[in-house]
Amino acid sequence: MQSLLNIKCNTWRTAALILCGLLLFSCTQKHYTDALSPEEALKHFEIVDGFKIELFASEPDIMSPVDMVFDEQGNIYVVEMGDYPYQPEGGKGKGRIRMLKDTNGDGKPDTSYVFADGLPSATSMLPWKSGLIVTAAPDILYLKDTTGDFHADIKEVLFTGFFASNSEAQITSLRLAPDNWIYANNNGQAGTVHAVSNPDTAALSMGGSDFRFWPDKGLFEKESGNGQFGLAIDDWGNRFYTQNTIHIQQAPVPLRYLHRHTYLPSDRLDVNISDHDLVMFQKTPPPYWRLERSNRRQKDYDERKLSRNEYAEDHFTGASGGTFYGGDAFPESFRSSIFTGDVAGNLVHRDLLTLQNNSPLFVAKRAEGEKDREFLASTDPWFRPANFTVGPDGYLYIIDMYRQHIETPVSIPEDLKKDMDFTNGEQYGRIYRVVPEGAEKKQTQIPNLRSKAPEALVALLAHPNQWWRLQAQRLLLEYGDLAVVPALKKIFAEHTDARARLHALYTLEGLNALDAGLIQRALKDPDPGMRTHAIILSERYPQCLPQLLTMVGDSSAQVVLQLALSLGEFALPQVIPALANIIERYGEAALFQTAVLSSDAGSSMELLKLLISRGSFFKDTSPEKIAFVKDYLYVIGARKKKEDILALIALLSHPEVKEAINWQLAGLEGLTKGLQKSANKSKPDPDLISAFQVYESGSKGEIKSALKEVIQAMGDSIQ
């Protein structure tokens, strides 16, 4: 009897445990929703008036997509990042590239081929010479199908050595720019990169920079910026990039100028250009794990009395895929738009770019009608708009990775990860097409540009859609047919669209058909974008310098900024008065200060003497001018040229300068920090010590104390 009771009790206990387990499982599952079919997901979108969204492609034809491109023959390629968010084992990557085909002519792909597979962390691609350039850290690859079976049989490593430990922070976002260079985001990650096909070239240490290269010329170099996933290049080559919480930044000064000497206080010029910063308007509640993590973090901040706010929603945390709209199918008001997804907020944000008054920087604003809403938002928390592309039809394509979770597991507490499957959804993926309502449907299949004669490609440089212009320019350079040079020069000289003139100019450059006369004409172009690029190209033509010197009064701040940078490439004394003019005009702007100081001429004692002798810059003080003086003398101190420092002491001893206490203190502070940059502890230079002691003997108070710090900072490394 007792045995029977024990059996019954055990049975009830087992049943109770099973029931509790089922209840617990059910409660756990309620933390997260299930996936929707593509047709159901479409019903959850809210888009601004005047547009509609339609399904273009979905699983099983694509899975875990993160990038899509159209090549010059109308082929559609999609990168699949099947390994996300984990690092694949060597040789076992699930990254794929699909080739999509529209076989029935309805404007949507219906057939899918595996163009390449087994790729580790593939993230982006670019059509190139009938194949694709692909970022797949640690490599940049070239893939091509030569047999016609839609599968790449050529796999060539172009570059290797990029950071490969975090799939969210690797080399990505390949973009061809009007200047013939290919740009890519590197998120500032470390890595030692070299060109596999040319092992004799010096390797690059990539930390703190992005990347650019020109395959046909074997050129590659670091580029300014720390873009993560999303790179927008506008019609004029201005670069804007995405990085998680900062959804749009600009890199206004190329890295090659910032590294002309090694004495600048900083070579980081990333600028957050959003005027609305982190705020976004999402339609989904925050996921359970994010809300719980945010609450814990906020509790910790409050207990430590830190003035910090942790946001779980309505603030950018997963900004991704910033893409410039260069198409011709949307209304004119969309011409300067950049679309960015937030994969955590399940939405698509639009910024409208405008130039700030008297500044070379853009400002990213919300458009009218989108002040309190997003361009597009979904109530489906699985919607993950990772990237975008603008097609040859001018429509916007949204690449939806469609995952239950899209966060690196390392940033989530262990207890919250117990009911999270980070691979849930890897079998899904959608691409949507955004079309203006009432617009006549354009054919997605495009003419085969490879079948067009070079003369026809030249005409396409004036196409209103950026996609067509860039493809035509690329193909003209691939063909290398110099017979098109007269037609290119005609477009450059006569076309009314400045963008067409720009593409013609750079196509001529790529064909080695430029000359000083063309540049001198471009320097007079009515469009400031053309003048800016003409200044860049003029650096290789010394005969253009007299014309450059006359441009310091140009009405465009962008033009003058580039002028300040390019004049520094000419090691001639006549550039110093021009740089002084720029400082007198724009000297309170940090960008112009750095642009001038980045060159030897712009950070020379001669320039400082000229500014002091003119008197206009130093007649009044401001925090911005004080900062410039500090940075200026920082460079003088860091350079450690004995004759410069002796000249500086003589200059500071001048009666008029000596009375300007604020300027002197700022200069001595900068000089001290510059000397400390690499000072050693050996015996100070006696001549300099003597000169400073004489100067100190006639000084009092704060100046005397500042001079003692200068003397202490000096070492015998000064030569």
What six digits make up the tokens of 418?
Answer: 């117990």
pLDDT of the residue at 442: 66
List b or e across 571-595, with b for residues whose CB sees 16 or more CB atoms inside 10 angstroms: eeeebbebbbbbbebbbebebbbbb
Of 54, 62, 155, which is closest to residue 100 (Cα–Cα)? 62
Q: How far apart are CA 644 and CA 674, in angstroms?
A: 13
pLDDT of the residue at 24: 44
Beta bridge partners of 112: 100
pLDDT of the residue at 598: 97
- 8-state DSSP, 679: -
What six digits make up the tokens of 669?
Answer: 């502070």
Query: Residue 557 CB: number of other CB atoms within 10 A?
Result: 21
Rg, C-alpha atoms of the chain: 30
Specify the CATH class of 449-713 in words. mainly alpha
DSSP string, 338-394: EEEEETTTTEEEEEEEEEPTT-S-EEEEPPTT-SSS-SEEES-TT--EEEEEE-TTS
Domains of the chain, residue spans: 64-223, 240-441, 449-713
What six digits make up the tokens of 99?
Answer: 């080739």
CB under 8 Å to 502, separation ≥6 — which residues? Answer: 178, 235, 236, 529, 530, 533
First to last CA, the chain: 103
Helices 590-597 and 623-639: crossing angle in degrees, nearest 10, is 20
The Cα diameter of the chain in Å comes to 113
* Contact (CB, 8 A) for 252 and 191: no
pLDDT of the residue at 425: 94
CB under 8 Å to 130, separation ≥6 — which residues? Answer: 144, 450
Q: How far apart are CA 62 and CA 429, in angstroms?
A: 6
Query: Residue 359 CB: number of other CB atoms within 10 A?
Result: 16
pLDDT of the residue at 702: 87
Q: Cite the DSSP H helix spans in 568-700.
A: 575-586, 590-597, 605-614, 623-639, 642-652, 655-658, 661-676, 686-697
CB under 8 Å to 538, separation ≥6 — which residues? Answer: 519, 523, 544, 545, 547, 548, 566
Q: How far apart are CA 336 and CA 341, in angstroms?
A: 17
List b or e across 625-644, with b for residues whose CB sees 16 or more CB atoms inside 10 angstroms: bbbbbbbbbbbbbbbbeeeb
Q: What angle do CA 427, 431, 437 make, to 5 degrees?
A: 150
Mean pLDDT, 10 residues at a time, over the chain (719 residues)?
A: 43 46 49 96 97 96 97 94 85 89 85 94 95 96 97 97 89 98 96 92 94 95 95 97 94 95 90 93 95 94 92 93 97 95 97 93 96 97 98 96 92 92 95 91 73 96 97 97 98 98 98 97 98 98 97 97 98 96 95 96 95 88 93 93 88 75 89 80 71 76 86 65
* Contact (CB, 8 A) for 504 and 489: yes
Residue 459: which H helix or E strand, with range? helix 454-460
For the CA atoms of 298, 300, 305, 306, what is the dihedral angle to 10 degrees? -60
